[in-house]
Chains A and B, each alone.
Chain A
Amino acid sequence: MSLAEHLYTTVTDVRSQLFFLEKVHQARMGEIVEVVFPDGRKLEGEVLKIERDTVLVQIFGDCSGMDTGKTTVVFSDSLKQAPLSLRMLNRVYNGSFKPMDNKPLFVPDRWQPATGFPMNPTRRARPQEFIETGFSSIDGLNTLVKGQKLPIFSCAGLPAKEIIGRILADSRMSGSDAGFAVIFVALGLTHHEYSFYMRTLEKMSSNFVAFINLAEDSVVERLLAPRFGLTAAEYLAFDRGMDVLVIVADITNYCDALRELSMAREELPGRRGYPGYMYSDLASIFERAGRITGMPGSVTMLPVITMPEDDITHPIPDLTGYITEGQIVLSREMHQQGIFPPVDVLPSLSRLMQKGIGKGMTMEGHRELANRLYATYARGIDLRGLEAIVGREGLSESDRVILDFAGAFENEFVHQEQRRTIAETLECGAELLRRLDPARDADSA
């Protein structure tokens, strides 16, 4: 620590969220500064780059009103830290971890850098405890386990938030003593979406912490909010032994903020203008989910991604899919058919399902049942393509049965009005397959 705070008025080059400062003595990478505007307004900023005594600072807000003579910059000698305590629970904060309820900040037990540290892979425990979400398409075919990161790939206009809402209200985690908490990070949401989520959170009986960065809020804070959320999550999970579910909506807004700032910094653009380091940057968020051997608690992540142009090969869903342990893909077509949740089962996947299902966890025979449902449905979808050409009459009797199965699967298994337990889900799937049986015998002959 330096003995005194350093104070400078040597701002030179100012852009929308960035400015250069000269003649700075021994700045620190990532150091937090306070910028005092000529009109007395104060904003925080962070050191991005240092070249001898010239420093590039990114401001958590907007530089409008800044000048190059009177603006004062105060160096704090510390990095962006998150205040941590159990007292953080059940309150709402902005992207900089400032309370939004006009009450003072709690007294933290300790501070921790918001960026976190990578988990040592040898200390990771394998995620394998089943989480019952109540949705058959997830529990039965793309099972979620504690410590997993499973994004929801949505399209504009699809009910991703209703699905998240239902998961929040209906999820059952097999018990942990310290309890359960939800961390909700809103990134660039409209007020309409935000209030939907908040209503759901407030109705819940479990603990929550919310970090809110709305569509009109600072883009820089949009990059910070998920990091604060995860630092809080790690604290609750690994210091306090809680099972924590982290909901981040919407990663697409996060990535756009990343692109915007990258451009402002005049970095080289990669695919579609997104920076080349977007993969590593997203990984620094998603990889914080997990469990640790010999410790209670877990961090499970359910990020929401709105695929631009409904395109799964767009860099945002693409890079996400490379990092996360599977994905739940929503389909516009199924939504138009009135199916809720409109989960497109074929491209959806849970990579950690294998270890979380079966005897002792869900039910014996779960894997086989899921495989048969999946394979038969895939076959049915193929036949739908064929039916479009040759007509239903052109299909053989056994093919028609499979075709009907696909329809029934969507309407009875994927679609659901009520929450289903895992037993109900598996029974529903088994029942659908039983209808197939006479045809199946003939078919395999």
Chain B
Amino acid sequence: MQGKVIGISGPTVTVDLPDLTLYERVSVGNDKLQGEVVRLRPASAVVQVYEETKGLRVGEPAVRENSPLTVRFTPGLLGGIFDGLQRPLQRLGEEFGPFIRPGDMLPFVPCEQQYPFVAEKKAGDRVGQGEYIGYVEEGAFRHYIAASAEGVIREIRDGNICPEDRVAILEDGTEALLWHQWPIRTARPFTRKKFPRSLLVTGQRCIDFLFPLAFGGTAVMPGGFGTGKTILEQAVAKYADVDIVVYVGCGERGNEMAEMLEEFRSLADPWTGRSLLDRTILVANTSNMPVAAREASIYTAVSMAEYYRDMGYHVLLLADSISRWAEALREISSALEEMPGEEGYPTYLASRLSGFMSRAGVVETLNGKTGSLSMVLSVSPPGGDFTEPTTQACLRNTGAFLMLDTDLAHRRHFPAINWAQSFSLYDRDVAEYCAREISPKWPEVKKRCQALLKQEEQLREVAEIVGDEGLQDADRLLMHVAEQIRSRFLCQNSFTDDAFSGPQSTFELIEKLVAMYDRCLERIRQGESLGEILLEEHP
């Protein structure tokens, strides 16, 4: 079916193809720019094009592709870096040079590499759609291959297979390959969702202890520029206790992605000792890459994350930053001349965002395994103003809220998580879990720690008026210990060995600080002076 381009406005192109369906893929122009139908009109359709439309001419061909925008699932995703349309950037760079030009298309199927396939079913077995028929080894992971339809296996083979070859054929002639496609805007099915309640260790003391994230949970981190969003996201990507990490650089800096790629290649995963890149999938749609592809990038990423979740892995999706996605949505909405909501954002911003964030969770998969998909999303509120629509929409959906504070960042207190304003809804369940798994005293020490920080805040106001010397010894002790908690416990330098802290050492450190407070307070009560006590405590 062929038609032609009849109108162009920014990233949207009008074509005169009849009988299209919404969200169907269309390629436009001589360069075959990829796009998706976002609006149908009588005898024409509006296509959101994922590449620069400059140079496109009215009258150039438009071709329907008969499928929605999809992502390809295959062994070989891990360790890869893709753009928002899942184009393999590494190979793109090798073939087309250092700049990406419109129409530089390279579909992602890594044909070069062969994978040893181990069949778990045999000829004559009946399989359901999506049921696993065998696996290949992908690095440290067992990558399961699913049957593409329900039926009886006629033939299945073991041994080295490249992704284009078929591994099995059913009685009705349906083939199973190592790869298959999935529409990115459709959530992958599962049997049921479970309640997130166990601690997802991020390696950041402040998060793990005060505002914990649960497996299958979501967290947002809003913060103005320079508050260390990216560094924190990357630190979590490096050290989180999960099987697989999917990191989306959504409308952010190109240099950051390059740096991350280089660093992840050389760093070892603290949990398994293997290269970090082996467990990571990077999706990079930097700020100067086309806006419409940026909108798609988070869906491409979350689909890949779900795919590995379905194999029974714990997957963590990090997006930096969701605000850039929202801005892309706004830009497309404005090109479609839709009625704007708050600050020009489309009114469906909140529902789209909740739809996306709802794809997180702990699930029992169709194959009876348990997998989880957790999300940590950074938000870049303009002017550091948290009342703006994207931050507010995130707040309504998120399980944990890690507020990054400009003041703390200016004091070089990193991670600059504001302990008074942040929260985690997984708090209570995770505390029970930690009481069981790490230390029975976890919940109590946590309460003490929060109380100390709270009291310090009140004392600080007093101290600013009367000066430190005007305070009583007990209060000065409290200020001293709170200062220790802030500088030694809450602060964590991402560039040193301290960048990762396991839950056990996190707990020991805070327990020690709280115990020191109790011990010194007791001695003050018995009449000793604070100066002497501190000299002994810090020789």
Contact = CB atoms under 8 A, between A and B. Distances in A.
Contacts of B224: 313, 318, 321
B226 A268 contact: no
A113 B81 CA distance: 27
A29 B56 contact: yes
B255 A51 contact: no
Given A30-B55, A280-B327, A49 B467 contact: no
Contact of A271 (B92, B262, B382): B382
A52 B6 contact: yes
B251 A118 contact: no
Nearest to A312: B383
A122 B90 contact: yes
A276 B334 contact: yes
Contact of B253 (A269, A318, A325, A346): A325
A147 B253 CA distance: 13
A contact residues, range:
35 or more
Contacts of B7: 50-52
Nearest to A321: B225
B327 A79 contact: no
Contact of A119 (B8, B99, B538): B99
Given A29-B54, A30-B54, A279-B327, A267 B334 contact: yes
B497 interface: no
A267 B335 CA distance: 9
B254 A126 contact: no
Contacts of B207: none
B502 interface: no
A323 interface: yes
Nearest to B257: A121
A122 B265 CA distance: 12
Contacts of B495: 354
Given A121-B257, A386-B464, A319 B98 contact: no
Given A121-B258, A378-B410, A295 B89 contact: no
A321 B406 CA distance: 13
Contacts of B54: 29-30, 79, 113, 115
A346 B253 CA distance: 23
A266 to B, nearest CB: 10
A395 interface: yes
Contact of B288 (A288, A322, A346): A288
Contacts of A378: 410-412
Nearest to A79: B55
Given A120-B100, A371-B412, A318 B383 contact: yes
Given A29-B54, A276-B327, A121 B382 contact: no
Contacts of A20: none
Contact of B254 (A270, A280, A287, A355): A287
B384 A27 contact: no
A113 B101 CA distance: 11
A374 B413 CA distance: 12
B89 A280 contact: no
A106 interface: no
Indicate the member of B10, B53, B99 with the most A CB atoms within 10 Å. Answer: B99
A33 to B, nearest CB: 14
A267 B81 CA distance: 35
B100 A323 contact: no
Contact of A118 (B59, B286, B324, B412): B286
B93 A122 contact: yes
Interface in B254-306: 254-255, 257-259, 261-262, 284, 286-291
A26 interface: yes
Interface string B87-120: 0011011001111110000000000000000000
B327 A120 contact: no
A120 B334 contact: no
A117 B100 contact: yes
Contact of B382 (A123, A148, A315, A349): A315
Interface in B370-388: 380, 382-385
A396 B287 contact: no
21 contacts: A29-B56, A51-B14, A117-B99, A118-B99, A121-B284, A122-B81, A124-B254, A126-B255, A270-B330, A277-B331, A280-B288, A283-B287, A313-B384, A322-B380, A323-B253, A326-B226, A354-B495, A374-B412, A375-B412, A396-B467, A445-B538
Interface of A: 26-31, 49-53, 79, 113, 115-127, 147-148, 238, 267-271, 276-277, 279-280, 283-284, 287-288, 290, 292, 295, 313-315, 318-319, 321-323, 325-327, 346-347, 349, 352, 354-355, 371, 374-375, 378, 386, 389-390, 394-396, 445
Given A30-B55, A120-B99, A271-B383, 20 more contacts: A28-B58, A52-B7, A115-B54, A118-B288, A119-B99, A121-B89, A122-B261, A124-B254, A125-B258, A147-B255, A270-B344, A271-B382, A290-B255, A313-B224, A313-B382, A314-B383, A355-B259, A375-B412, A396-B467, A445-B534
